[in-house]
C-alpha cells in the first residue's frame, strides 16, 4: 500500500478504503481476516512492533497485548474478500498515513509469503473521504457495516432486496466487521475500537435497513473509485 501524501488533520474523522490489486481476493479464509484485524491492533501505536513477537499468541491474546499510545482512533471497520473500509480519526499528526502504511506492509508480508505472491497486495495510495460533521459521522458507521449485504443479497445495490430481516441477522453475525463488536463488547475485536470515541456511535450502529439502504446507495455512488 503506497504512502499517501495528502495531509490529514488531527482530530478529524476519515473514511479510508482500498481494494486488492486488480480486484484480487485479499482475504481468502478466516486466518487472513484475523491476521488483518491483528495488524489493525498492533500497528496502531507510536512505537514500532515486531510481528514475530506475537507468533506464539492466540488471536484473542494478540488483541490484548499492551501497546504504546495510539496513532488513530478506530470508529468502525469492515473487511470484504477483496477490499476493506475503515473509519479513522487522526490522533497524532501523520498518524493515519503511518497507520495505513504499517497495516498494509504487515498484511502484505503475510499474504506474499503464504500465497507465494510478489508485489503489492492493495491498490495504493488508499482512498479517503473527510467526514465533515457529526451528522455525516453518524451515517458513515452503518454505511460501513452494510458492505457485507452484497454477500447475502448480490442485487441490493439495484434495489433488489428479498428479506430485510434475514439481511440484518446476517450482518450482526458477520465476523469481519465491527458491528458484532458494537453489539457485544466481550468480543476480542472490541479492542480495536476507541471506546470513548464510539459511545455516541453505538446508538446508531444499525438503523432500520429499509430507511438506511437508499441513503447508503447515494453515499457509495459518491465515493471516489
Q: Is the pLDDT of residue 209 over 80?
A: no
Which CATH number belongs to the domain containing residue 48 in this structure?
A: 3.30.70.1290
Residue 4's pLDDT band (cuts 50, 70, 90): very low
Domain annotation covers residue 1? no
Distance of CA 111 to the CA centre of its chain: 18
- Structural domains of the chain, count: 1
Q: Which domain holds residue 186?
A: 13-220
Weakest-pLDDT range from 45-49, 51-55, 178-182: 51-55
At residue 30, the pLDDT reads: 97
Q: Which tens digits make up the pLDDT trace of 87-142?
A: 999 999 999 999 999 999 999 999 999 999 998 899 988 999 999 888 888 778 88
Asked if residue 4 is part of any domain, the answer here is no
Which residues is 165 bridged to in the sheet? none
| pLDDT given for residue 1 in this prediction | 43
Is 75 domain-assigned? Answer: yes
DSSP assignment letter at 2:
P
Q: Please provide the size of the chain in residues.
A: 225
pLDDT of residue 138: 77
46 occurs within a structural domain: yes
Task: Give the number of other Cβ atoms within 10 Å of residue 111's Cβ.
Answer: 22
In a domain, 27, yes or no: yes
Residue 155 lies in a domain: yes
- Cell numbers that stand for 104 in this block: 498494509
- For 137-194, the pLDDT digits (tens) are 877 888 898 889 888 888 777 767 777 778 888 888 899 999 888 777 788 998 999 8
Q: How many CB atoms sit inside 10 A of residue 200's CB? A: 11
Global pTM value: 0.87
Amino acid at each position: 500500500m503506497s504512502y499517501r501524501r495528502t495531509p490529514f488533520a488531527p482530530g478529524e474523522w476519515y473514511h479510508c478504503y482500498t481494494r486488492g490489486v486488480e480486484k484480487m481476493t485479499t482475504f481468502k479464509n478466516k486466518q487472513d481476516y484475523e491476521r488483518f484485524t491483528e495488524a489493525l491492533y498492533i500497528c496502531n501505536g507510536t512505537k514500532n512492533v515486531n510481528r514475530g513477537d506475537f507468533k506464539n499468541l492466540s488471536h484473542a491474546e494478540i488483541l490484548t497485548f499492551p501497546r504504546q499510545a495510539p496513532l488513530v482512533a478506530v470508529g468502525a471497520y469492515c473487511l470484504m474478500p477483496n477490499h476493506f473500509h475503515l473509519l479513522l480519526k487522526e490522533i497524532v499528526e501523520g498518524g493515519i498515513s503511518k497507520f495505513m502504511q504499517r497495516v498494509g506492509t504487515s498484511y502484505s508480508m503475510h499474504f506474499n509469503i503464504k500465497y507465494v505472491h510478489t508485489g503489492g497486495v492493495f491498490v495504493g495510495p488508499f482512498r479517503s473521504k473527510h467526514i465533515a460533521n457529526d451528522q455525516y459521522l453518524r451515517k458513515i458507521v452503518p454505511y460501513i457495516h452494510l458492505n457485507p449485504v452484497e454477500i447475502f443479497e448480490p442485487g441490493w445495490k439495484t434495489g433488489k432486496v428479498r428479506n430485510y430481516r434475514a439481511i440484518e441477522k446476517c450482518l450482526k453475525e458477520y465476523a469481519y466487521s465491527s458491528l458484532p463488536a458494537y453489539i457485544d463488547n466481550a468480543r476480542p475485536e472490541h479492542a480495536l475500537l476507541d471506546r470513548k470515541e464510539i459511545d455516541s456511535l453505538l446508538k446508531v450502529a444499525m438503523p432500520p435497513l429499509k430507511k438506511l439502504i437508499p441513503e447508503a446507495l447515494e453515499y457509495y455512488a459518491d465515493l471516489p473509485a
